[in-house]
């Protein structure tokens, strides 16, 4: 369980094996378009890039294909599939549905320790907004979400939301943030945090839905 504000150094994230890191890096390349849809993924290049033998690389490519980001064609190789704008829109709508339910459960199930941590995190969000520090605000935002996902006490839901965030964030890595982004997002999170303090699942669900729909529009 999260016990401190260590997500500024990404320590809140699960430690990954070299194979998992390689898989994540290749998926990021596909999602972002650095590996274009339809392009063949060269096994030998991956072996050299990550200093791995062919056996684990082939297993990585099988997992990526299982995730829908690549396709194996017999006697030809493995090719990148990527995500269309329709794919991303659908993923974001699914994220909204699941995250709203996640917030409901989290408000009902959050421990006092987790609520205290959420409050500390929101204090940091206010500080970085006043400091106009976008990079740290984005990272603290991830931490805010991580605490809520954890507080829902549902591993499958947490896993799916983390996956959706991974796909959305890497597909929109070059998103441009408006001048009032920090103050706007802070107020959206204030409404969510206030619902946790009040132990009001309906208010939390409403605030989360409003925030996520606005977030989706900001990425257009």
pLDDT in the model for residue 5? 52
> pTM (2 decimals)?
0.89
How many CA atoms lie less than 13 Å away from 171 in the CB half-sphere? 22
Task: List phi, psi (to 5°) of 54.
Answer: -65, -35
List, for the chain, all residue ranges whose pLDDT scores fall below the cut of 70.
1-14
Here the tokens at position 136 are 């740290």
What tens digit of pLDDT does each residue of 159-210 get?
A: 999 999 999 999 977 778 888 999 999 999 999 999 999 999 999 999 999 9
pLDDT in the model for residue 178? 82
> What is d(CA 204, CA 4) in angstroms, rounded to the nearest whole number?
23
The domain 85-218: what is its CATH number?
Answer: 1.20.120.530
pLDDT in the model for residue 10? 54
pLDDT in the model for residue 12? 52
Q: 23-59 burial string, b = 16+ CB within 10 Å, else e?
A: beebbbbbbbeebeeeeebebeebbeebebeeebbee
CB 168 within 8 A of CB 95: yes
Q: Considering the domain 18-80, what is its CATH architecture?
A: Orthogonal Bundle (1.10)
CB 148 within 8 A of CB 106: yes
What are the residue boundaries of the structural domains of the chain, listed by start? 18-80, 85-218
């Amino acid at each position: 369980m999260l016990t401190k504000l260590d997500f500024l150094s990404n320590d809140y994230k699960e430690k990954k094996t070299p194979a998992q890191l390689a898989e994540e890096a290749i998926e990021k390349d596909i999602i972002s378009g650095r590996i274009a849809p339809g392009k063949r993924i060269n096994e030998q290049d991956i072996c050299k890039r990550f200093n791995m033998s062919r056996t684990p690389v082939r297993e990585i490519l099988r997992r990526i294909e299982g995730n829908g980001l690549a396709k194996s064609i017999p006697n030809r190789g493995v090719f990148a599939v990527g995500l269309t704008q329709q794919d991303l829109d659908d993923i974001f709508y699914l994220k909204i549905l699941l995250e709203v339910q996640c917030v409901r459960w989290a408000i009902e199930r959050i421990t006092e320790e987790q609520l205290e941590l959420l409050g500390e995190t929101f204090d940091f969000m206010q500080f970085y907004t006043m400091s106009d520090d976008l990079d740290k605000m984005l990272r603290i935002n991830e931490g805010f979400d991580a605490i809520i996902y954890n507080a829902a006490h549902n591993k499958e839901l947490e896993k799916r939301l983390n996956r959706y965030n991974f796909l959305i964030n890497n597909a929109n890595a070059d998103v441009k943030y408006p001048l009032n982004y920090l103050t706007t997002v802070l107020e959206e999170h204030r409404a969510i945090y206030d619902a946790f303090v009040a132990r009001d699942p309906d208010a939390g669900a409403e605030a989360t839905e409003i925030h996520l729909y606005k977030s989706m529009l900001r990425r257009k």
